[in-house]
Structure 1
C-alpha cells in the first residue's frame, strides 16, 4: 500500500526547488531535533528503520502540512510514546 510520502513518479507536486548554499538547518530547533534523533538511535531506543516508518505513518494531512524536521519531531514523539517513555500531552 502506498503512503502519502511515496510520491515518486506522481505529478502535481510542482517543481523541486534546490537552494544553492543552503544551511543544513534553518533554525536552532531543527539541529536539536537532528541531534536528539541521532542520540536515540545511537543508544538503541529505536532503530533508524523504525524512525522512518514512524515518519511515514503520519496522517496524510499532517505529513503534508508539516516541515521536514517537524515530521522528525512528530515521529520521535510517536516512538517514545509507543515505548512508554513519553507521557500523554
Structure 2
C-alpha cells in the first residue's frame, strides 16, 4: 500500500502530460539518483527507500509513493513538496 497518494487533475493532451512527467522524472534522476522507466502510460520510479508510480489518465495524473522506514518520518514534508510540484507541472502548459 502506498504511503502517499496524490491525484492531480489536468487539461493537457496525452503527449504534453507525458512530456511533463518525463521532465519531472529527469529532474528526480539528477537530484535524487532515482531511476525511472515507462510501462505504457505508467512511469515507474525507484531508489533506495522510495518507489512508486505515476499513472497518466485522460484528465488526471495519479501518483503513488511507497516510503522505506527511514523516509516515513518525512512523509508529510515529502507529500507537500510533491503536491506543489505536481500542481506546477500539470496545471501550467495547457
TM-score range relative to shorter protein: 0.3 to 0.5
TM-score normalised per structure 2 = 0.32
Q: Going by fraction, where is helix more abundant, 1 or 2?
A: 1
Q: Going by fraction, where is strand more abundant, 1 or 2?
A: 2
- Greater relative CO, 1 or 2 (CA 8 Å, sep 6+): 2
